[in-house]
Amino acid sequence: MKLINCLNEKTVEVRSTLKERGPILSRLVALVLATAGFMDPDALLGEIEAREKLGSTGIGQGVAIPHVHLKGIEGLHVAMMTVPGGVDFGAMDDMPCNIFIIVVGPDEDREGYLKLLAEVSRLLSKEKTRGTLLAAKTPAELLATIRDAEAG
């Protein structure tokens, strides 16, 4: 499962100036629903916030992957945002997060959902990739970085 196949310029935002967890989650929800209105935004935000209460999805090294799997939706839905200033997201390493990827998947396809989460983690474990993503000035540059990282 390739991350690049789940993103497009409408589901990506670069260089956000948001500074708090709540607005970040709200913006990620809006981005993930930008091309596929599969759910009411408030309902999806509620599901994401409930998941975050179980434990932060800040995985460390400046990365957070808010995610949820839900009944009744089809396919995987993903959005991404960079926040160069960083935001306290309760990450495992206590460092601010500045790369956010939201993943929403169907309950009925947990295998695909987990494979995508693994691919995201693999890609973002590389310091060079994280740095290039944060340096991206446009959604197109960010997408090109992901495409190159997945090809290499």
**pLDDT tens digit sequence for 68-107:** 999 989 999 999 999 999 999 999 999 999 999 999 999 9
**Mean confidence (pLDDT) of the chain:** 95
Statement: residue 38 has pLDDT above 90: no
Does residue 36 surpass a pLDDT of 90?
no
Distance CA 93, CA 58 (A): 9
User: What is the CATH number assigned to the segment(s) 3-151?
Assistant: 3.40.930.10
Q: Measuring CA to CA, which residue among 89, 36, 32 is closest to residue 60?
A: 89
Position 126 scores a pLDDT of 96
Q: Where are the domains of the chain?
A: 3-151
pLDDT score at 152: 81
Contact 59, 123 (CB under 8 A): no
Selected catalytic residue, list 21, 27, 67, 69: 67
Tens-place pLDDT, residues 45-62: 999 999 999 999 999 999
- Does the structure show a pLDDT above 90 at 42? yes
The answer to whether residue 110 scores a pLDDT higher than 90 is no
Concerning whether 67 is annotated as a catalytic residue, the answer is yes
φ, ψ for residue 27, nearest 5 deg: -70, -40
Give the DSSP H or E segment for 106. strand 97-106
At 80 the pLDDT is 98
Q: What is the DSSP string of 47-96?
A: HHHHHHHHS--EEETTEE--EEEETT--S-EEEEEEEEEEE----TTSPP
Token code pair at residue 138: 């446009």
β-sheet bridge partners, residue 80: 12, 101
pLDDT band at 111 (very low <50, low <70, confident <90, very high): very high
Q: How far apart are CA 36 and CA 67, in angstroms?
A: 16
Which whole number is the average pLDDT over 24-35? 96
pTM for the model: 0.96
